[in-house]
Amino acid sequence: MTAKTKDSPFSWRFVAPLYMGSTLNPINSSMIATALVPIATHMHVSVAQVTILVTVLYLASAIAQPTSGKLAAELGPRRIFLVGILLIFLGGLLGGFGHNLLMLILSRILIGIGTSTAYPSAMLLIRRRAEWSGMQKPPGSVLGGLQIAGVITSALGLPIGGVLVDAWGWRTVFFVNIPFSLIALVMTMLWIPRDVPMKGAQSVRTMVTRIDIPGIVGFALTIGSLVFFLFSLPHADWVALGTSIVLCGLLILWESKAKNPFIDVRMLASNLALSRTYVRFAAMTLCMYTVLYGITEWIGAVRSASALEAGLLILPMSIVSALVVGPISKRNLVRGPLMVAAGSSIVASIGVLFLTMRSPVVWIILITCIFGVMMGAASSGNQTALYMQVSTEHMGTASGLLRTFGYIGSIASSAFISVVFHRSVSDSGLHHIAVMMIAVSIIAFVITIADPRLQTPPKQVNMP
């Protein structure tokens, strides 16, 4: 590397493809909501059947995030990132030209897997880059940019999807992945340094052993059963839940004895700070997605707003979130932001208790903006906490697993919303949702304030 590169290890060329890749998963998660009704009409199926397009991306992403992290650690983060970009491109083509529901399902699976390679690969690339340059604390500005890319696009998906579908039809929510994936591909090939070359067949066999395929399969089946149970609500499939619990027990037993486990359960048992970070992130994500989907659904049904109008009404929340992420990440703050996140979530959830169909728009925007503080503080604080709590060896899988817990929170949110709004969307149902968010936020606050290991990293000490 040149001296110039060494002086600025995190140049805009290095971070640009990482940021772009990190936007594609959240934007695909939310953008599809605006296309469900047009797709159902075109395919001559019910909207309930088409919602599987939401489910399969969640499921694929929840499984693929830590899997991609493990593969990135063993095979190289740049290689895995490039493979993911190609899968996004293929998924965009398949969905854009799809003429039946099966093709769209396969497209969403490819997009889910492909977009899931970005975050764990980016975290591993950033960690290795920081170590190479002699940094002894997290590169806060870079990690903050990664969070901003994800936070903003998670809410931008609704208005962007609404504009695309209204202007050019539902196929555009698939086709839009093609130009973005091509741009990300070119930037990655030009600006991300190549991984260390692989050393022949023997090393490949060693890597296959280290990947722990039985562990990955067991994890996929466990998460799949859990997701199936959550999406079965309000008609609970207890067999699916029981299967998930049994599979989880078998997975823990296998991983505790594996020489190179996919998920190091022994490390999780000894590193309780990391385990608490996962639980805290799942709780905050549950509240965040309840706002994004539950309050958005209530706005559309009770106030007769279109998906685009509802999305625009929620947009200030993402703007506030992005504004909060920057200064927190730059200073590598942890405990304070996480307490603020849980506290603001409690306050905003109490505010939801007083929302009715006659509430002024200003009150709705104010409440969602407080949730925006929660989103920014929780995302940044938990990411910095994870960066400090794991070694470089585990960074890929650990960061992917953080996103998996986020998906579990978002899926649980969808399940709860479907139970509450099963018969009709109403003010009373929204108030039940508010009570749930208050309870979850209090749990997150207690976990945070009682965690003795949450701390801001020490000031930078330059290595000689």
pLDDT in the model for residue 289:
84
For residues 249 and 295, membership in a common domain is answered with no
For residues 195 and 240, membership in a common domain is answered with no
191-197, long-range: CB within 8 Å, 24+ apart, which pairs? 191/13, 191/14, 191/16, 191/17, 192/14, 192/17, 192/18, 192/78, 192/81, 192/125, 193/1, 193/78, 194/78, 195/75, 195/76, 195/77, 195/78, 195/79, 196/76
> How many CA atoms does the CB half-sphere of 377 hold within 13 Å?
21
106-120 residue pLDDT tens: 999 999 999 999 999
For residues 295 and 341, membership in a common domain is answered with yes
Of the three residues 209, 233, 248, the one that is the final residue of a domain is 209
299 pLDDT exceeds 70?
yes
For residues 291 and 351, membership in a common domain is answered with yes
Of the three residues 175, 209, 243, the one that is the final residue of a domain is 209
For residues 179 and 73, membership in a common domain is answered with yes
Assigned domain for 461 exists:
no
For residues 147 and 273, membership in a common domain is answered with no
311 pLDDT exceeds 80?
no
For residues 44 and 71, membership in a common domain is answered with yes
pLDDT in the model for residue 7:
53
For residues 349 and 451, membership in a common domain is answered with yes
Q: What burial class does residue 45 get, using C-beta atoms within 10 Å of its C-beta: 0-12 exposed, 13-18 middle, 19+ buried? A: middle
Assigned domain for 2 exists:
no
Total domains, the chain: 3
For residues 219 and 179, membership in a common domain is answered with no
Assigned domain for 133 exists:
yes
pLDDT in the model for residue 1:
40
**pLDDT category of residue 2 using cuts at 50, 70 and 90:** very low
3-state per-residue secondary structure call for the chain: CCHHHHHCCCCHHHHHHHHHHHHHHHHHHHHHHHHHHHHHHHHCCCHHHHCHHHHHHHHHHHHHHHHHHHHHHHHCHHHHHHHHHHHHHHHHHHHHCCCCHHHHHHHHHHHHHHHCCHHHHHHHHHHHHHHHCCCCCCCHHHHHHHHHHHHHHHHHHHHHHHHHHHHHCCCHHHHCHHHHHHHHHHHHHHHCCCCCCCCHHHHHHHHHHHHCHHHHHHHHHHHHHHHHHHHHCCCCCHHHHHHHHHHHHHHHHHHHHCCCCCCCHHHHHHCHHHHHHHHHHHHHHHHHHHHHHHHHHHHHHHCCCCHHHHHHHHHHHHHHHHHHHHHHHHCCCCHHHHHHHHHHHHHHHHHHCCCCCCCCHHHHHHHHHHHHHHHHHHHHHHHHHHHHHCCHHHHHHHHHHHHHHHHHHHHHHHHHHHHHCCCCCCHHHHHHHHHHHHHHHHHHHHHHHCCCCCCCCCCCCCCC
35 pLDDT exceeds 50?
yes
Assigned domain for 279 exists:
yes
Assigned domain for 438 exists:
yes
pLDDT in the model for residue 176:
93
**Do the Cβ atoms of 22 and 61 come closer than 8 Å?**
no
Mean pLDDT of the chain: 86
What average pLDDT does this structure show over 129-146? Answer: 86
For residues 361 and 413, membership in a common domain is answered with yes
pLDDT in the model for residue 460:
43
For residues 202 and 55, membership in a common domain is answered with yes
36-92 residue pLDDT tens: 888 988 998 887 788 889 889 988 998 999 999 999 988 899 999 999 999 999 999
Assigned domain for 463 exists:
no
**Region of poorest pLDDT, from 101-115, 251-265, 305-319, 361-375:** 305-319
Closest by CA to 70, choosing from 220, 248, 238, is 220
**pLDDT category of residue 4 using cuts at 50, 70 and 90:** very low
The residue range of the domain holding 184 is 10-209
285 pLDDT exceeds 50?
yes
167 pLDDT exceeds 80?
yes
- Pairwise pLDDT comparison (156 vs 126), residue with the higher score: 126
**For residues 296 and 280, what is the distance between their CA atoms, to the nearest angstrom?**
24
Of the three residues 192, 209, 226, the one that is the final residue of a domain is 209
pTM metric for this prediction: 0.86
What average pLDDT does this structure show over 244-248? Answer: 95
399 pLDDT exceeds 80?
yes
Assigned domain for 1 exists:
no
**Do the Cβ atoms of 262 and 223 come closer than 8 Å?**
no
For residues 271 and 252, membership in a common domain is answered with no
pLDDT in the model for residue 201:
53
Assigned domain for 3 exists:
no
pLDDT in the model for residue 212:
86
CATH assignment at residue 84:
1.20.1250.20
